[in-house]
Amino acid sequence: MAQSMKLTCLDCGQVNRVPAEKLDGAKCGTCGTKMVSSKAVEVDFATLQKAARNDDLPLVVDFWAPWCGPCRMMAPEFSKAATTLAGKARLVKLNTEEYPQAGQKYGIRGIPTMAGFKSGREKARQSGAMQAPAIVNWVQGAV
DSSP secondary structure, 49-79, as one string: HHHHHH-SS-EEEEEE-TT-HHHHHHHHHHH
In this prediction, residues 56-61 reach a mean pLDDT of 95
What pLDDT, on a 0 to 100 scale, did the predictor assign at position 3? 87
Confidence of residue 21 (pLDDT cuts 50, 70, 90): confident
Answer with the residue of higher pLDDT: 2 or 15: 15
Q: How far apart are CA 118 and CA 84, in angstroms?
A: 18
Distance from C-alpha of 62 to C-alpha of 126, rounded to nearest angstrom? 10
Instruction: Based on the residue annotation, tell me whether 12 is a catalytic residue of this protein.
Output: no
- Answer yes or no: are the C-beta atoms of 5 and 20 closer than 8 Å: yes
Domain at 38-142: CATH code: 3.40.30.10
Domain boundaries, the chain: 38-142
Upstream peptide bond of 100 is cis (omega within 30 degrees of 0): no
| Beta-bridge partners for 114 | 62, 126
71 has catalytic annotation: yes
What is the reported pLDDT for 2? 58
Rounded to whole angstroms, the Cα distance separating 63 from 127 reads: 9
For 19, phi then psi, to 5°, come to -60, 135
Task: Look at residue 10 in the predicted model and tell me its pLDDT.
Answer: 95
Out of 9, 12, 31, 71, pick the active-site residue.
Answer: 71
d(CA 32, CA 30): 6
The catalytic position among 9, 12, 28, 68 is 68
Which whole number is the average pLDDT over 130-138? 97
